[in-house]
Amino acid sequence: MSAVVTYVETLKICRRHADRLQWSMNELEACLPFTVESLDGVSDIQLAVLDQFASRFSRLQDAMGAKLFSAVLELTKEQGSLDAFVDKLNRLEKIGAIPSVNDWLILREMRNAFSHEYPDDPEIQVAILNKAFVLARGLIATLTYLEIFANRYI
């Protein structure tokens, strides 16, 4: 498969996650900022949308990190062995494909926070959700930034 085809197919998957992430954010906008009380009172539908939000955030972050970044590096014909993920991130930042390695690492930490359940600590749940909403905007913006960068190579 050519680098362009790989990139386009991977981008399509990432865009689908981003679109559904954005939809869930729009649906939950009126609930922000979350509090322990408001989280305790969410309806079943709102809970399903929250699950969609967490799932799509994680899926988008995973897809970008695991596949899209490599596809962009292949598309740009960047030289050298980039086996370590942090090396890929540093190269992407250096060539202007992502705004910041540090910002990406924060997004990755947030994805990891979603993978841990805190059923007995609603304050932690609320803090994670409120921070995630801010970071989700950055995640979608990073995808757009990367897409604009990569489109120069198609």
pTM of the predicted model over 0.85: yes
What's the total number of domains in the chain? Answer: 1
Q: What is the pLDDT of residues 11-68, one digit of tens each?
A: 999 999 999 999 999 999 999 999 999 998 999 999 999 999 999 999 999 999 999 9
Which structural domain range is residue 52 located in?
A: 3-151
CATH code assigned at 41? 1.20.120
Write a three-state SS string for the chain: CCHHHHHHHHHHHHHHHHHHHHHHHHHHHHHCCCCHHHHHCCCHHHHHHHHHHHHHHHHHHHHHHHHHHHHHHHHCCCCCCCCCHHHHHHHHHHCCCCCCHHHHHHHHHHHHHHCCCCCCCHHHHHHHHHHHHHHHHHHHHHHHHHHHHHHCCC
Residue 134 has pLDDT above 90, yes or no: yes
In the prediction, which pLDDT does 78 show?
A: 79
In the prediction, which pLDDT does 120 show?
A: 78
Q: What is the pLDDT of residues 77-117, one digit of tens each?
A: 976 667 889 999 999 999 999 999 999 999 999 998 887 76
